[in-house]
Structure 1
């Protein structure tokens, strides 16, 4: 309703978990790194991600699902209030497994476990991994958790066959800390708690979402408004979205291009039923009440007049945003994204390796000489080791001779590879890496990606930074990306 008023292409504060709007704070980067490790490590067992309601757990999970390698089969369960039998039926259904049963009645627990074990062995022989993701896992009963633990016993002589990711509210941590859950807790290979945003991060979060939604003008929220948003939302992204959305609606109803603290207070009263601070001299209360009425009455009156215009332009706006997102984020959105600030915080003792002290992507520099992929592709054929060593140089580690990923382990660094990445996801990870490029004959060439801007990539060729237009890169890059994570 208010998008056109603020020069936006769509409403920026929807509570739907859209990965395009994911603000990758350092906490979110760590959470994503833990999930990626769970798939990449192939060790089986449990990965646990917890966080307050609305902290962004599901959105991180959606981002994670977008870059799972093709060799991974995923079962996703979002309603875990199930019995053991219902859980096993759901897992088999998600993996498209038919449980055979001899005799009368429905398939038993053993029938489902046997069918699942056969499927896991078959996919393992085909070089595939299987991942089970359970959202809202704080609702799991004790007997269901015990059955999940037993599923991690399905293994070969080399490795576990099933990786289980549990995502839930803080109650999940308390649940797993119970004495009777000790055996399951010992199988947790990585865990991470996603905290709320700080005040500075809240301001960046608001700016980031506005930029993704198409904002090119000044920030509509003044500093006082952002402070009140943080105060009422406590830095929880979903609460920020609810409050910021209602505040923009209130400013739109008043015909204002700016959102001040008074509008946010009135919006908070409606959204959270929050008490307003007392106004000096007694004059502020009637004015605030009028603002509160304007949030509803004014929005209805103005909204009715512009509803047809808003509906007519919505489809075109969505198509435009989709096309922009498929190429590269707008420079404004990039500016709003958080920098890779220092090393990641150490994980608990049982946690898995996460990215630490990693170099960040550089901005594309106009000083970099252009590189023509059409004529220079041949020079990159078979250059995988060279690209990895360029990447190692950015990490300030010496791989020496031999296979790069094996050599990297001496420095407590592991390789991560995916065949389904996007430039948007690489920007979110904010890490340089190795791109695999392919020509029309499917020949593989390799180059280190050192930086990105709105329309160009910086790659390293023969030790020198070179610039490649993103449109030219799209002709050769199909999503294969690799990078380092420090253990």
Structure 2
């Protein structure tokens, strides 16, 4: 209903599992890596848990897409079964024929014997067998014990069956019971999938809107995005429900932008609960506690908004300049500044300026964004050189085997994924200075290292950097000189051959494979994209090629190890 009103080709927040909207956060990629590890771990249990709607099914779908051809898979999606029913279901999934020894009275042994014979045959043929059980928190204790016994089917070299249990957090509690200790000891890998963080929520919403065909500015105000994360708790399914109803409300009101109030109203309609906690009845102490909680909550939301850049920081506190206003990160900032200059921590605490001032001074010395000097900084991080008056830096760098990639809507998570130095366009708090360019040289957890003119570097907390960066970035990647310049690198024979080699080096294609059809090549690219957490489209665009370089071992500067 609202899609056409907002210029969208599709409804962006359907809860149907549409593969076009696949969004793999860093947490989802880690969960996928645990499942893939289990394939070659030699048997036992792999455990994936998470709250309702956090994306366990998404991870499972990606996992099923990447299971190698030498693996047989049995998938049980309704585990509310008895032991005989479970064994019959497993045999049916693997295609194992089972018949009762006594007509009309099939026993557990009638299923176990042919299943064991099948697993032995498949092992002899070099094939692995994987059993996936979804919603495993619904398994009865006796069924869990039978699953443990299935892992006893083994040869002298390895177990014959790999079992993956996917379920809600109650599954972890179940396996912690004393009577299931033997099963718990056979869990070789476990991962608990948590909800999205504030920045990941923003990326998730932006991703779905972009896939749906959004061309203009995002239809959510910054405070509305913060409210969506707070009310949905970072759970993708709840985000979908809330955003869908909020956009419907905007359509009904005839506006193209969702406000904080609209999100609150949508939450009351969708979640059937008040967005704000009810005022408690009782004495003055309860009233005071509620007021204090509200103030703390407001402070938390304000701090979140300032740190993520959703609204500007205040210019002054109680009549003092903003530089003197206390900040949560200020206590650690002087120590970091002192470490850079060689001063001791006590001296820094007494005399060093706060991080915002240090960052402001650093930025004031940097060149204007997207100018030749700014691009020179980026080229230096890649051990390349550019003339001072270059008009088209990308054209000059191409003969040196470097390609450019630019984006106006990048995120810190994307930069972590690409793992390479990048030129950031930063907006100083003093708007009169204009946008400045600095190179992100390292990104270690919560700390970022910037490099500027004359090789000067500054380490700052990411939360201090985030309000100044609105997503505009540029970076480089290595490519052969004869690679086509467009988005389709396989448009020429040389480009297709290079892409096939990179896929093979990255383990996404058999070694030495060449001359494959375009369909096979696209399928391999699609598989690689799924594994890397990219939106899978089968096209080897710049993001895919950058990650291919990393997977293939191409020597390029890295963020985590510095340049």
- With normalisation by structure 2, the TM-score equals 0.56
The corresponding residue for 1:191 is 190
The corresponding residue for 2:49 is 50
Aligned counterparts of 1:185 and 1:115: Cα–Cα separation in 2:
27
Q: Which secondary structure state, in structure 2, belongs to the residue aligned with residue 165 of structure 1?
A: strand
Does structure 2 conserve the Cα–Cα contact (< 8 Å) formed by 1:364 and 1:453? no
Does structure 2 conserve the Cα–Cα contact (< 8 Å) formed by 1:80 and 1:137? yes
Task: Pick which of 268-277 and 121-130 moved more.
Answer: 268-277
The corresponding residue for 1:35 is 35
State the structure with bigger RCO (CA 8 A, min sep 6), 1 or 2.
Answer: 1
CA positional deviation for 1:333: 11
The corresponding residue for 2:413 is 338
Q: Does 1:369 align with 2:481?
A: yes
Does structure 2 conserve the Cα–Cα contact (< 8 Å) formed by 1:176 and 1:184? yes
The corresponding residue for 2:542 is 453
CA positional deviation for 1:458: 8.5
Matches within 5 A, 1:267-416: 267-275=266-274, 335=410, 338-339=413-414, 340=416, 369-371=481-483, 375-376=493-494, 387=505
Structure with the greater alpha carbon radius of gyration: 2
The corresponding residue for 2:79 is 80
Q: Deviations over 1:452-485 (max 9, x none)?
A: 427977976x99899xxxxxxxxxxxxxxxxxxx
Aligned counterparts of 2:3 and 2:493: Cα–Cα separation in 1:
45
Q: Which secondary structure state, in structure 1, belongs to the residue aligned with residue 42 of structure 2?
A: coil
Q: Which secondary structure state, in structure 2, belongs to the residue aligned with residue 89 of structure 1?
A: helix
Aligned counterparts of 2:77 and 2:268: Cα–Cα separation in 1:
32
Does structure 1 conserve the Cα–Cα contact (< 8 Å) formed by 2:31 and 2:191? yes
Does structure 2 conserve the Cα–Cα contact (< 8 Å) formed by 1:222 and 1:260? yes
Does structure 1 conserve the Cα–Cα contact (< 8 Å) formed by 2:229 and 2:239? yes
CA distance 1:258–1:386, change in 2 (3 Å) = closer
Does structure 2 conserve the Cα–Cα contact (< 8 Å) formed by 1:78 and 1:135? yes
Q: Which secondary structure state, in structure 2, belongs to the residue aligned with residue 99 of structure 1?
A: coil
Aligned counterparts of 1:240 and 1:381: Cα–Cα separation in 2:
37
Structure 1 residue ranges without an equivalent (≥5): 279-330, 346-361, 392-403, 405-417, 433-448, 467-487
Aligned counterparts of 1:385 and 1:201: Cα–Cα separation in 2:
29
Aligned residue pair count: 353
CA positional deviation for 1:380: 7.1
CA positional deviation for 1:369: 2.0
The corresponding residue for 1:23 is 23
Aligned counterparts of 1:223 and 1:19: Cα–Cα separation in 2:
27
The corresponding residue for 1:116 is 115
Does structure 1 conserve the Cα–Cα contact (< 8 Å) formed by 2:482 and 2:495? no
CA distance 1:167–1:366, change in 2 (3 Å) = closer
CA distance 1:332–1:10, change in 2 (3 Å) = farther
Aligned counterparts of 1:35 and 1:463: Cα–Cα separation in 2:
23
Aligned counterparts of 1:381 and 1:427: Cα–Cα separation in 2:
14
Structure 2 residue ranges without an equivalent (≥5): 278-405, 418-442, 447-473, 485-489, 512-519, 557-563
Does structure 1 conserve the Cα–Cα contact (< 8 Å) formed by 2:62 and 2:531? no
- Return the match for 2:525 from 420, 423, 446: 423
Does structure 1 conserve the Cα–Cα contact (< 8 Å) formed by 2:66 and 2:531? no
CA distance 1:97–1:205, change in 2 (3 Å) = same
Does structure 1 conserve the Cα–Cα contact (< 8 Å) formed by 2:268 and 2:274? yes
The corresponding residue for 2:6 is 6
CA distance 1:220–1:332, change in 2 (3 Å) = farther
Does structure 2 conserve the Cα–Cα contact (< 8 Å) formed by 1:44 and 1:162? yes
The corresponding residue for 1:154 is 153
Aligned counterparts of 1:92 and 1:139: Cα–Cα separation in 2:
20
Aligned counterparts of 1:463 and 1:137: Cα–Cα separation in 2:
38
Q: Which secondary structure state, in structure 2, belongs to the residue aligned with residue 159 of structure 1?
A: coil
CA distance 1:222–1:377, change in 2 (3 Å) = closer
The corresponding residue for 1:299 is none
Q: Which secondary structure state, in structure 2, belongs to the residue aligned with residue 370 of structure 1?
A: coil
Q: Which secondary structure state, in structure 1, belongs to the residue aligned with residue 120 of structure 2?
A: helix
Aligned counterparts of 2:232 and 2:254: Cα–Cα separation in 1:
25
Q: Deviations over 1:180-211 (max 9, x none)?
A: 11110111010000011122221111111111
The corresponding residue for 1:232 is 231
Does structure 2 conserve the Cα–Cα contact (< 8 Å) formed by 1:369 and 1:465? no
Aligned counterparts of 1:18 and 1:334: Cα–Cα separation in 2:
23
